[in-house]
Chains A and B, each alone.
Chain A
């Protein structure tokens, strides 16, 4: 696939715009998946996918032929996702964070003895997880998603975020610590 990608890129740079369409069709599903895991919002993820391939086309001349197109477009998608997260934070997502306060969740769990407990627990965990994820910085969130959900190595995360490997590792640590603080009450009570 890698060689095919390179052939398509050469065709695009030679003037065949539609060859890029094949690259888009080939990689849009995986870009959407990671975009959704980062943004956790369908519309935002779709926006990230479109913006990533748009930016990718414009920067295609700078693509290093030795690299993998998938890794390259992945990195662009990270930047686009960062932009979306920053934009979202600047538009004040605070009500959501306040709504799912850790202390409040603990009380809910303590009182939630009736009904299907497991389902309730699962919902509460998901709500808390979302709240906790919202509290992470954009870099911490990206690093954690790539490490925990995409199973990427520290080096890959560093490359995707354009930071040093040690910074990537620290970003993962900080994310885990914050998640632990946010989710700990749940485990104590349950």
Chain B
């Protein structure tokens, strides 16, 4: 026979046991458990709730009066709803608008800058070559203009101009060799012509006097070369813009 545990007896006392009938049946036949349960009943029966002091009908009002002054009234729900939610909605709408504008800007920028960007390394290389060539032609043009002015004014060419001519000569050789491989005979011919002029200017041992300059102008047709370079610059400029090389 399995006796009731103390916990089971307490559960049974408070009528919370799920097997009430079983416990009662056991208590009827088991003297030790019955005695223990009786003692428990006596013990718990002796523990009575303390007598609660009477509180008059005005007690509630007294409690209310004692706390009333410390309480702040709630704001009306409708008011809160009217002012609170539209503010939240407005803030959310502003955020959405900002996010939308940002995204639209990004998309627009992306759509408009895509053609200017190099899609492959070959395009990038062409763009750089065009830009550098345009710069070279620009410098050469200025040198030829100075040379032509000197010829017209009968001046002597100074040392810095010869130094510039030497630098341009070195660059020009590289460009000419590069252009010779490409399918642009006009540019190749112009660079070839330019190289000869630069060679003449750069390599004059005692500088160039006005007679030398006039001779070069006549023999090498520097005026025609200048015109040719200007035409080429216009062309390379157009190509640079077309390929987006707006550095």
Contact = CB atoms under 8 A, between A and B. Distances in A.
Interface of A: 12-18, 20-21, 24-29, 32-33, 36-37, 40, 42, 49-50, 53-54, 57-58, 60-61, 125, 129, 145, 147-149, 153-154, 169, 172-173, 176-177, 179-180, 183-184, 187
B50 A36 contact: yes
Nearest to B46: A125
A21 B39 CA distance: 47
Interface in B58-89: 59-61, 63-64, 66-68, 70-78
Contacts of B40: 176, 180
25 contacts: A13-B77, A15-B73, A17-B72, A21-B68, A24-B63, A25-B60, A25-B63, A25-B64, A28-B55, A28-B59, A29-B59, A37-B49, A40-B50, A49-B63, A50-B67, A53-B63, A54-B71, A57-B67, A57-B71, A148-B44, A148-B47, A172-B10, A172-B14, A183-B46, A187-B42
Given A57-B71, A173-B10, 10 more contacts: A15-B76, A29-B60, A54-B70, A153-B16, A154-B16, A172-B14, A176-B10, A183-B46, A187-B42, A187-B43
Contacts of A17: 68, 71-74
Contacts of A40: 50
B6 interface: yes
Given A50-B66, A54-B70, A176-B10, A28 B60 contact: yes
B55 A29 contact: yes
Contacts of B61: 21, 25
A115 B49 CA distance: 26
Which 9 residue pairs are nearest across A and B when measured between Cβ atoms?
Answer: A25-B60, A149-B49, A17-B73, A28-B60, A21-B64, A24-B64, A15-B76, A28-B63, A54-B67
A20 B67 CA distance: 11
Contacts of A176: 10, 40, 44
B16 A129 contact: no
- Secondary structure of the A side of the interface? helix
B6 A177 contact: yes
Nearest to B79: A15
Interface in B16-61: 16, 39-40, 42-44, 46-50, 52-53, 55, 59-61
B109 interface: no
Contacts of A177: 6
B7 interface: yes
Q: Which secondary structure dominates where chain B touches chain A?
A: helix
A50 B74 contact: no
Contacts of B72: 17
B64 A14 contact: no
Interface of B: 6-7, 10-11, 14, 16, 39-40, 42-44, 46-50, 52-53, 55, 59-61, 63-64, 66-68, 70-78
A16 B71 CA distance: 11
Contacts of B11: 169
Contacts of A179: 43-44, 47
A36 B59 contact: no
A56 to B, nearest CB: 10
A149 B67 CA distance: 29
Given A20-B71, A54-B67, A54-B70, A36 B53 contact: yes
Contacts of B6: 173, 177
